[in-house]
Amino acid sequence: MKQTILVTGGAGYIGSWIVKDLVEKGHTVRVSVRNKSKTEKYQHLIELEKEYTGTVEFWEADLTILNSFDNVTKGCDSIIHVASPFTLSLKNPQQNLINPALKGTKNVLQSATNSGSVKKIVLTSSIASIYGDNCEWDATQFPNGFNETQFNETSSLKHQPYSFAKVLAEKEAWKIHESQNSWDLVVINPGFVMGPALTKTSNSGSIDFMTDILKGKFKMGAPKLIFSFVDVRDVAKAHVLALENQKTKGRYIVTNSEMNVMAITKIIGKAFPKQFKLPKMITPKWMMSIVGPLFGVTRKFVKLNISHPIKLDNTKSKNMLGMTYVPIKNSIIDMVEWMKGI
């Protein structure tokens, strides 16, 4: 059944792929933007209407302003709330991470309640809302990896502020959901997102991370830091599947495989030989403790994350959403190809 769907952050890295998938299926998609006059930010979405049967509309709204989304949500059947900052910077986390993530979630969900039409919301959270530091994974307790029953209880404004922002926003969403009975809530918890963007104007910590690799930031040595990665196109697909499946509820970990930074650079080196200044060794943990602060990484982060394995259980996403995952090798190669072209 065709729907009218609001996608917040629809012009961003993840949101653009979600909009593409929805328009391809023939839905009417409302994309919220802060300034409609800046068409260069969403020109790639305008072009989608020429290729697919769905419709894209652009509405002005500001995540930080109360009731800003009231007009946008009226007449919508559902909402995919993606908009939230993803930055690896630790500068002013309260202003740059906590406030927009928390206020944005409150404002969008309250407007959904006010709309009288919204029946379902799919919220983009993160595995950062599942756990705080890699050292927390206990293979004995969680042999298949962390699952959807876990909530991050160790991050704070001073330690892992991005993770803190994600868990605060998600918990607030569940709190608001429980206070009303007009719409259902489903939460997607993606891993570290990789893969190509649909626009050169995409601004994401994922792109910053790959830029650092390709520009040689780790050429003297890669940290032994393990992430759980997922393709951006799979993240988009999970949102759409969660929206369209009437039986979905709760949280869904959407991630594919764990690997360290060195493994990523080896994939890049093999696919693009001698094109980038890539690391040839892993930086020892003791060295990371010394040089980490120069790269904006605290000693506490190094202690609790470097050299610690991590594992996430994506079984629920496979069984309930029907997810199959793009190999991370493909995600990395496609991402580098895209970045070479911009």
Domain boundaries, the chain: 4-340
pLDDT for the residue 320: 96
pLDDT for the residue 99: 85
Homologous superfamily of 4-340 in CATH?
A: NAD(P)-binding Rossmann-like Domain (3.40.50.720)
Q: pLDDT in tens for each of the 342 residues of the chain?
A: 899 999 999 999 999 999 999 999 999 999 999 999 999 999 999 998 889 999 999 999 999 899 999 999 999 999 999 987 655 555 778 888 888 889 999 999 999 999 999 999 999 999 999 999 999 999 999 999 999 999 999 999 999 999 999 999 999 999 999 999 999 999 999 999 999 999 988 878 899 999 999 999 999 999 999 999 999 999 999 999 999 999 999 999 999 999 999 999 999 999 999 999 999 999 989 888 887 777 778 999 999 999 999 999 999 999 999 999 999 999 999 999 999 987
Closest CA relative to residue 341, chosen from 219, 202, 159, 244: 202
Evaluate if pTM is beyond 0.75: yes
pLDDT for the residue 86: 56
